[in-house]
Amino acid sequence: MADVETPAGPALREEAADALRRLQSELGDAIVEDGIAFGDVVVRVQRDVWKRAAEVCKDGLDLDYLSFIAGIDWMPAPAVSEEGSGDTSSPAQPKEQTYGAAGSAGRFQLFAVVESTRRKHWRVILKTDLPDDDARADSWVAVYPGADWHEREAWEMFGFVFDGHPSLRHLYLPSEFEGHPLRKDYPLLAREVKPWPGLVDVEPMPGEAGEGDEAGETA
Amino acid sequence: MTTTDLPSPGDLPEIEVDPAAFRHLADAQVNVELDTGDMVLNIGPQHPATHGTLRLVVRLDGERVVSADPVIGYMHRGYEKLTEFRTYPQITTLINRIDWLSSFANEVPFIHAAEMLMGIEAPPRAQYQRTILTELSRIATFLLFLGEMGLQVGAITPAFYGFRDREYVLNLIEAVTGGRFHPNFNRIGGIKDDLPWGWISECRGVMDKVLRSCDEFDDLVVGNPIFEKRTRSIGIIPQALGAAYGVSGSNLRASGVDWDLRRDGPKYLVYDELDWRVWTHPDGDSFARYWVRLQETRESARMVLQMLDQMPSGPLMAKVPRIIKVPEGEVFVNTENPLGEMAYYVISKGATGPFRTKIRSASFSNVSILPWLLRGAYVPDIITILASLYFILGDIDR
Amino acid sequence: MIHPLLAIDVGWGTTLAIKTVIVLGIVPLTALILGYTFLLKMMSHMQSRLGPMDPGGFHGWFQLIGDGIKFLQKEDIMPGEADRRVFALAPAIVVLSTFLVFVVIPAGPRIRVASLDSVGMFNGVGVFYALAVSSLSVIGVLMAGWASSNKYALLGALRAAAQLIAYELPLVLAVVGVVIQAGTMSLQGIVSFQQHGALFGFSGLGFPLILTQFIGFAIFMVAAQAELTQPPFDMPVAESELVAGYMVEYTGFRFLFFFIGEFGTAFAFAALAATLFLGGWSVPWVHGTAADLLGPFVLFAKVMLVAFLMFWARFTYPRFREDQLQAIAWKWLIPIALFNILLTGVLKVAFT
């Protein structure tokens, strides 16, 4: 078994570097950028070679196992409460839109992880950018049949449309659901309805003074 | 049934994936002249066989399935959205509840991802305890499976034996963590508490019980000719198709794929310091899935016994700041959970909580193969196949 | 008419009334006893748990009676689209067949409800009558499944009908060997054959027919298990799939009927097996009035033994799929039963 110390900082594992080389030789210019995610290679390809990249991975690189396909919305989430209100219920994320490994051209990205069941530590993370106004990509169902449900979920949660998918319909949510929940501008309704842990209703013990008083203090 | 020397995948001939070959053909097409219309049967969402709120809309022709469409989402809790609004320790509490039968195992990949991003490593004793608790969860959930698959096939008795033996393991987990089901015991940098006094000898006794109980299941269920008749050649998943669908864990190993993330993935717990083997079975049918899980239960019990002997002493937590801010970065961690491959893709931007977490749960992919797998099966076989795939609703629906 | 045992002069009407009351009382009572002993207690102990312990104080003996009372006071719900008359009649037909089987089982040399030994042209037809009447329940099952207007119930009823009809044949054929060997179809005749028979010249133990008809006994037990739709043959009521199959829409009093029917029939079949193969009420060296007094208890003991076997198989085995079930009946049991008849006939002629 090859040496598999998790690197202290970002550095490609030797298998990952090998995979990157093979992808570069197959896809050439279609690779926009590549990056590292703690030992794994992240390859950002152009949208029109999204399906071809899958075929290259499955047939050429022996990556026969589909882990998942999902989306990323890089827009910073709008603040749930105003600044200075002391509401520490959600972790404060940075306000600027920055991108992760292998960068991004814009807000939406589609990414997938494919692995191999026959070789050790052999996996590739593929990313592609989707323009905001036309979030479409080719479906992977012909290459990896398991993409069926993952793409349905990505459509449902982000609004990405997959050309060539047999039936793009709701997976988790009821059929009349409106909106795409995992987009950053879709609010987490629970927090809007009742800010948490902010105001805590403390019910006084029966007989104690303060029955009928207002709530207690912020946590 | 003692099969210690099974052929490895390399020895087996390549099979062409022909869907028609896997249908259960009736001896005669009885209803050629009596043209009966298809009947749409709704199995679930409330049904004893579907392990929770899974709904299968099957189109039946007599007793054979023409098409099956799983409808999921009755338990969708929106975990990925929730993680964007929580800090890392809070998320640990949440993700316990994805696969609630082996809840400790769900925390491990996420905690490991956070630790990788922070660049810290849990001390060896904490790693050993994490591994022991993960394997105990694996034993607990597999014992339930071994009993409950017999129940789905019709034998009432194995279920009680499975639950009875599971109680011993849950008592162990409770003694360490305080909770039978949702321990929330991992912390970034290590684990929360040390083992209580007397736990190690108690654990040894329980592992011996588990091994004996596995022998009981061997006799009662695997050796039962009716069980074999009900599960052999039912729901065969071909290797290549299973991998392309994302089927993982014991389901894929039962189809002959020799792939176990504890051995073949990047190191995440102390599995490389133990002497253990991966079990596969060449058939790929429901019987193989049951058999593989039985062997894995035994293997986990042996692993725990080894770990109890080898456990080092030392601190339980690495040096970690009070308020945990994870530096910017992306990491993908996948682990061999009892149900299959569970993975977290964590994107962090330096805050106290992740920017985006993609939770890849095993049962989601395992269940996505059902429309293909159920075509041509009989109605009782649907139940057998569902039971043998062993999914948990929380794992599918997150 | 002088009652033979009590030497009291009662008219035939009173006799009929007494016998009716006895049968009506005995059937639920036996269902209760079997259900409690085997379903609640034996099954629980085999599954390493205790079963009911509280109701009634001593090991929960009151449990089933309490269940019966509970069922009686439940609301009588009928599905909206159900066929009302058929729905109501179905459980009655199932229970009717149980009662009718009890009519011919002898519990002593002179204790029996009806003697079909010399009824007109039917000279001694106890066995024939019992088997014929026990298959009435198929109609009840079909009625129940159809009238429930529920796909699951219909599926269960169709499975049940196919299964029950398929297993009638092995049941009957298994008994034919007994009839050939005993030389009579009357149940009393078969019992007295076993009581007065001799084993290799030693007449102390009688001649229980199980010794030579062991194949027949095995087939009878398997077929009886299937007739009762008990695991491993319980596809019609597959709990984890159809959730009680054809009985799913029944509640309260009507469900109680099905329950009594199931366990009463179990007792009836066990009693038939005990009578045909184990010697029924007879103990070889006891005759006359003593046999009358001892008979019911002896029969009861033998029935419990046979029922023990049936219920033991019930908790141990998973269930067969419908096509496997049919294959067993048609491809295995019937040929073996025919072979048994052949063998019995040949050997009977050879040794007489």
CATH number of the domain residue B98 falls in: 1.10.645.10
Q: Quick one: DSSP state of residue C277? A: I
User: Is C4 inside any structural domain?
Assistant: no
- Beta strands B329-337 and B340-348, pairing class: antiparallel
- Beta strands B39-43 and B55-61, pairing class: antiparallel
pLDDT band (50, 70, 90) for residue B255: very high
Residues of C with CB below 8 A from B164's CB?
48
Q: In Å, how far are A44, B135, B339, B382 from B217, measured between CA atoms? A: 50, 19, 20, 23
Look at residue B270 and tell me whether its pLDDT is greater than 70: yes
Give the number of other CB atoms < 10 A from CB of residue A209.
Answer: 8
Q: Which two tokens stand for residue A191?
A: 């927090």
**pLDDT at residue B140, as a whole number:** 93
Give the number of other CB atoms < 10 A from CB of residue A158.
Answer: 22
**pLDDT at residue A217, as a whole number:** 39
For residues A89 and A191, the answer to whether their CB atoms sit within 8 Å is: yes
Is the minimum CB–CB distance between B227 and chain C shorter than 8 Å? yes
Please judge whether A117 and B259 are an interchain contact, meaning their C-beta atoms are less than 8 angstroms apart. yes
User: Is C1 inside any structural domain?
Assistant: no
Alpha-helix residue ranges (DSSP H) falling in C183-317: 187-196, 214-227, 252-273, 288-316
User: Is A55 inside any structural domain?
Assistant: yes
For residues A130 and A159, the answer to whether their CB atoms sit within 8 Å is: no
Among the residue ranges A26-30, A166-170, B171-175, B338-342, the one predicted with the least confidence is A26-30
Q: Which two tokens stand for residue C64?
A: 């089933």
Nearest one of A141, A140, A110 to A126, comparing CA atoms: A110
For residues C144 and C138, the answer to whether their CB atoms sit within 8 Å is: no
Number of domains into which chain A is organized: 1
User: Is C7 inside any structural domain?
Assistant: no
Gap between the Cα atoms of C223 and C172, Å rounded: 9
Gap between the Cα atoms of B299 and B276, Å rounded: 7
**pLDDT at residue B288, as a whole number:** 93
Mean pLDDT score of chain B, rounded to an integer?
84
Please judge whether B381 and C231 are an interchain contact, meaning their C-beta atoms are less than 8 angstroms apart. no
Beta bridge partners of B360: B343
To the nearest whole angstrom, how far is the Cα of A208 from the nearest Cα of chain B? Answer: 34
User: Is B304 inside any structural domain?
Assistant: yes
Give the number of other CB atoms < 10 A from CB of residue C178.
Answer: 26
Q: Which residue has the higher pLDDT, A84 or A128?
A: A128
Q: Which residue has the higher pLDDT, C322 or A127?
A: A127
Residues of A with CB below 8 A from B86's CB?
90-91
User: Is B61 inside any structural domain?
Assistant: no
Give the number of other CB atoms < 10 A from CB of residue C132.
Answer: 15
Look at residue B173 and tell me whether its pLDDT is greater than 80: yes
Look at residue B204 and tell me whether its pLDDT is greater than 90: yes
Gap between the Cα atoms of B248 and A68, Å rounded: 12
Gap between the Cα atoms of B337 and B248, Å rounded: 10
Cα A25-A144-A170 angle, rounded to 5 deg: 130
User: Is C218 inside any structural domain?
Assistant: yes
Count Cα neighbours of B52 within 13 Å in the Cβ-side half-sphere: 19
Residue A185 corresponds to which amino acid? D
Q: What is the pLDDT of residues A79-100, one digit of tens each?
A: 665 555 555 667 777 777 777 7
User: Is C3 inside any structural domain?
Assistant: no
DSSP string, B177-193: HS-SS----EETTEES-
User: Is C2 inside any structural domain?
Assistant: no
Please judge whether A170 and B119 are an interchain contact, meaning their C-beta atoms are less than 8 angstroms apart. no
Neighbours of chain C (3+ CB pairs under 8 A): B
Number of domains into which chain B is organized: 1
Q: Which residue has the higher pLDDT, B396 or C321?
A: B396
Please judge whether C319 and B226 are an interchain contact, meaning their C-beta atoms are less than 8 angstroms apart. yes
* Residue located via tokens 């002069």: C9
Q: Which two tokens stand for residue C245?
A: 């199959």
User: Is A191 inside any structural domain?
Assistant: no
**pLDDT at residue C11, as a whole number:** 73
Q: Which residue from B minimizes the CA distance to C231?
A: B154
For residues B254 and B291, the answer to whether their CB atoms sit within 8 Å is: yes
Phi-psi region of C243 (alpha: psi -120 to 50; beta: other; left: phi over 0): left
The Cα diameter of chain A in Å comes to: 79
- Residue of B78, B245, B350 with shortest CB distance to A94: B350
User: Is B285 inside any structural domain?
Assistant: yes
Q: Which domain holds residue B313?
A: 9-18+76-370
Please judge whether B368 and A10 are an interchain contact, meaning their C-beta atoms are less than 8 angstroms apart. no
Gap between the Cα atoms of C268 and C100, Å rounded: 10
User: Is B27 inside any structural domain?
Assistant: no
**pLDDT at residue B33, as a whole number:** 38
To the nearest whole angstrom, how far is the Cα of B305 from the nearest Cα of chain A? Answer: 24
User: Is B143 inside any structural domain?
Assistant: yes
Residue B198 corresponds to which amino acid? G
- Beta strands A40-45 and A123-130, pairing class: parallel
What is the 3-state secondary structure of C50-115? CCCCCCCCCCCCCHHHHHHHHHHCCCCCCCCCCCHHHHHHHHHHHHHHHHHHHCCCCCCCCCCCCC
For residues A54 and A43, the answer to whether their CB atoms sit within 8 Å is: no
Alpha-helix residue ranges (DSSP H) falling in chain A: 14-27, 50-55, 147-158, 189-193
Q: Quick one: DSSP state of residue B255? A: T
Q: Which domain holds residue A40?
A: 14-180
Give the number of other CB atoms < 10 A from CB of residue B91.
Answer: 25
CA of residue B217 relative to chain centroid, distance: 19
User: Is B334 inside any structural domain?
Assistant: yes
Q: In Å, how far are B44, B68, B132, B230, C241 from B61, measured between CA atoms? A: 19, 12, 49, 20, 17
Residues of chain C with pLDDT under 50: 1-3, 118-122, 239-240
**pLDDT at residue A84, as a whole number:** 55
Among the residue ranges B326-340, B384-398, C112-126, the one predicted with the least confidence is C112-126
Q: What is the pLDDT of residues B44-95, one digit of tens each?
A: 777 766 677 888 888 888 778 888 888 888 888 889 988 888 888 888 888 8
User: Is A39 inside any structural domain?
Assistant: yes
DSSP string, B141-181: HHHHHHHHHHHHHT-SHHHHHHHHHHHHHHHHHHHHHS-SS
Gap between the Cα atoms of C219 and C197, Å rounded: 23
User: Is A190 inside any structural domain?
Assistant: no
Q: Which residue from C minimizes the CA distance to B382?
A: C241
User: Is A192 inside any structural domain?
Assistant: no
Exposure pattern of B355-388 as b/e (b: 16+ CB <10 Å)? Answer: bbbbbbbbbbbbbbbbbbbbbbbbbbbbbbbbbb
User: What number is the average pLDDT over the span A44-69?
Assistant: 88
Q: In what order do the strands lie in the sheet with B55-61?
A: B39-43, B55-61, B64-71
Q: What is the CATH number of the domain that holds A173?
A: 3.30.460.80
Alpha-helix residue ranges (DSSP H) falling in C103-150: 126-134, 137-147
Q: Which residue from B minimizes the CA distance to A167?
A: B69
For residues B177 and B183, the answer to whether their CB atoms sit within 8 Å is: yes
Residues of B with CB below 8 A from C240's CB?
48-49, 151-152, 154, 383
Is the minimum CB–CB distance between B30 and chain C shorter than 8 Å? no
Gap between the Cα atoms of B369 and A88, Å rounded: 43
Count Cα neighbours of C222 within 13 Å in the Cβ-side half-sphere: 23
Helix (H) or strand (E) holding B216: helix B199-217
Is the minimum CB–CB distance between B351 and chain A shorter than 8 Å? yes
> Coil, strand or helix: which one is C96?
helix
Gap between the Cα atoms of B352 and B359, Å rounded: 18
Q: Which domain holds residue C90?
A: 12-350
* Residue located via tokens 């060449």: B282
- Beta strands A31-37 and A65-73, pairing class: unpaired
User: What number is the average pLDDT over the span A53-65?
Assistant: 87
Look at residue B339 and tell me whether its pLDDT is greater than 80: yes
Q: Quick one: DSSP state of residue A203? A: P
Look at residue A211 and tell me whether its pLDDT is greater than 50: no
User: Is B251 inside any structural domain?
Assistant: yes
Is the minimum CB–CB distance between A103 and chain B shorter than 8 Å? no
Is the minimum CB–CB distance between B39 and chain C shorter than 8 Å? yes
Q: Which residues contact B9 (CB under 8 A, 6 or more apart)?
A: B239, B256, B257, B258, B280, B282
- Residue of B243, B331, B355 with shortest CB distance to A64: B243
Model pTM above 0.90: no
Q: Which residues contact C80 (CB under 8 A, 6 or more apart)?
A: none
**pLDDT at residue A81, as a whole number:** 59
Residues of B with CB below 8 A from C320's CB?
226, 229-230
User: Is B335 inside any structural domain?
Assistant: yes
Q: Which two tokens stand for residue C173?
A: 């054929």
Is the minimum CB–CB distance between B81 and chain A shorter than 8 Å? yes
* Residue located via tokens 């990157």: A20
Q: Quick one: DSSP state of residue C22? A: H
**pLDDT at residue A28, as a whole number:** 78
For residues B189 and B120, the answer to whether their CB atoms sit within 8 Å is: yes
To the nearest whole angstrom, how far is the Cα of C87 from the nearest Cα of chain B? Answer: 23
- Residue of A10, A89, A146 with shortest CB distance to B368: A146
User: What number is the average pLDDT over the span B169-186?
Assistant: 89
Q: In what order do the strands lie in the sheet with B356-360?
A: B329-337, B340-348, B356-360
For residues A112 and A69, the answer to whether their CB atoms sit within 8 Å is: yes
Gap between the Cα atoms of C142 and C160, Å rounded: 8
User: What number is the average pLDDT over the span B257-285?
Assistant: 88
Number of domains into which chain C is organized: 1
For residues C291 and C281, the answer to whether their CB atoms sit within 8 Å is: yes
Q: In Å, how far are C16, C27, C28, C95, C105 from C22, measured between CA atoms? A: 10, 9, 11, 15, 13
Please judge whether B154 and C231 are an interchain contact, meaning their C-beta atoms are less than 8 angstroms apart. yes
Residues of B with CB below 8 A from A94's CB?
349-351
